[in-house]
Amino acid sequence: MLEKVDLSRKLSKEEYQTRFPPLQQRLYDVQKTCWDAAIPTVILFEGWDAAGKGTSINLLTNRLDPRGFKVYPIREARTYEKAHPWLWRFRLKLPDYGEMAIFDRTWYVRVLVERVEGLTPESEWRLAYRDIVEFERQIGDDGYVIVKFWLHISEKEQKRRFERIEQDPLNWWHVTPEDWDHHRKYAEYLLAVEEMLENTETEYAPWTIVEATDRRWVRVKIFETVISAMEGRLNQRGYEVLQPAEADLIDED
């Protein structure tokens, strides 16, 4: 699947400046309408280290009403969380009706990092595919909009980004020995990602693969995907998103 992804996709500065600012305003309007319609949204960001997950989340939330969303950066389960079924800690983070939850890494950590690094027995991470599909089906049946992103870059591009970050005196600390260790296992992670996509692609929770080499392309694709998914659910409920009001739209490079 991933070998067919065209990582050369990009937008010119002129096209980006035309397409992106209206998307920011449209996302705000869609968020407000989903609030009024009591439609909850879950947005999942997965992808390679240095592929731009954090940057994309920051930009996505820049024009949202902060009262209506929460961002959850996912780390290793804490001691008390390990005393519960493994999806328990994620269920606690599901948004109320009308609100949004944005995950920086997700429950897919079990079939990616925990799998490749040998932190979870094979019998458990294989069963996790079933757990994940059932979990997403349950919240989908409950009316949640589920948007799943995989930000994809090549092994060569990841190395280039790591080296560029390390040369930045203000950001060098973002690249850790663990990141380089994961990079050396790129082929192993690629296999895990392929199996993850194959086993968890469903009608109610489809994956969107984002060609993440060009930052302008990434921004537009993410915004368009989120807006389309939320508008689709609103249309199913018979709601219409109001036309954008006048606003100072952001013009970014």
d(CA 191, CA 196): 9
| pLDDT given at position 32 | 96
**Residue 94: C-alpha distances to residues 40, 44, 138, 230 (Å):** 9, 12, 12, 16
- For the domain that residue 34 is a member of, what is the CATH number? 3.40.50.300
pLDDT average, residue stretch 148-166: 98
Phi/psi at 6 (nearest 5 deg)?
A: -85, 95
Q: Is 245 inside a domain boundary?
A: no
| pLDDT given at position 253 | 45
Q: Is 108 inside a domain boundary?
A: yes
Strands (E), the chain: 41-47, 69-73, 100-104, 145-152, 207-211
Give residue 243's pLDDT band: very low, low, confident or very high (50, 70, 90). Answer: low
pLDDT surpassing 50 at residue 252: no
Q: Is 240 inside a domain boundary?
A: no
183 lies in which domain range? Answer: 2-234
Q: Is 83 inside a domain boundary?
A: yes
For 78-125, the pLDDT digits (tens) are 999 999 999 999 999 999 999 999 999 999 999 999 999 999 999 999
Q: Are 34 and 65 in contact (CB under 8 A)?
A: no
Q: Is 64 inside a domain boundary?
A: yes
For 116-144, the pLDDT digits (tens) are 999 999 999 999 999 999 999 999 999 99
Q: Are 7 and 154 in contact (CB under 8 A)?
A: yes
pLDDT average, residue stretch 69-81: 96
Q: Is 67 inside a domain boundary?
A: yes
Domain count, the chain: 1
Strands (E), 132-178: 145-152
Q: Are 69 and 203 in contact (CB under 8 A)?
A: no
At position 184, the amino acid (one-letter code) is R
Q: Is 158 inside a domain boundary?
A: yes
pLDDT surpassing 50 at residue 2: yes
| pLDDT given at position 63 | 86
| pLDDT given at position 250 | 40
> Minimum mean pLDDT among 131-140, 142-151, 173-182, 240-249: which range?
240-249
| pLDDT given at position 247 | 40
Q: Is 167 inside a domain boundary?
A: yes
- Pick the more confident residue, 71 or 252: 71
- Pick the more confident residue, 243 or 140: 140
